[in-house]
Structure 1
């Protein structure tokens, strides 16, 4: 996962593995560091197991994961 677009320019290009998710944030593990990235206003690039990439608007991820599943 990487931050493709963000209002906070210092977040653009942050890459890592999503290790935890809150209602409004993603926790990204980057080596021995963890970064808290807000979902709102960001565009994330996720790499899928088959090697393809998917752009996801962070605003579409807002909410607890178990609540998003119910909406689908």
Structure 2
């Protein structure tokens, strides 16, 4: 199954390796790691050196690979619980 950009918000992000390429908080810029938890408004990221960081979704832009393709995703479109995003219609 091929991933289309419009289906990205419906993707499960727990376990995905991401890089923060834009953030309101300068200390989060450039962080790389694996998403270990997700809530309505936050991602919990485990960094490469084992630290845990909480990231406010609407304040970050992430880069990740999904099915071998690289995507840049604004966290704002990922707002909401993962199960709610499945039902939500999002314009991209």
TM-score normalized by the length of structure 2: 0.71
Unaligned runs of 5+ in 1: none
Q: Whole-Å Cα distance in 2 between the matches of residues 64 and 26 of structure 1?
A: 11
Q: Tell me the C-alpha RMSD between the 2 structures.
A: 1.2
1:7 corresponds to = 24
- Report the alpha carbon displacement of residue 5 of structure 1 after superposing the two structures with TM: 0.2
The number of aligned residues is 71
TM-score normalized by the length of structure 1: 0.89
- Report the alpha carbon displacement of residue 41 of structure 1 after superposing the two structures with TM: 2.6
Partner of 2:84, secondary structure, is helix
Unaligned runs of 5+ in 2: 1-17
**Runs of 4 or more off by more than 3 Å in structure 1?**
none
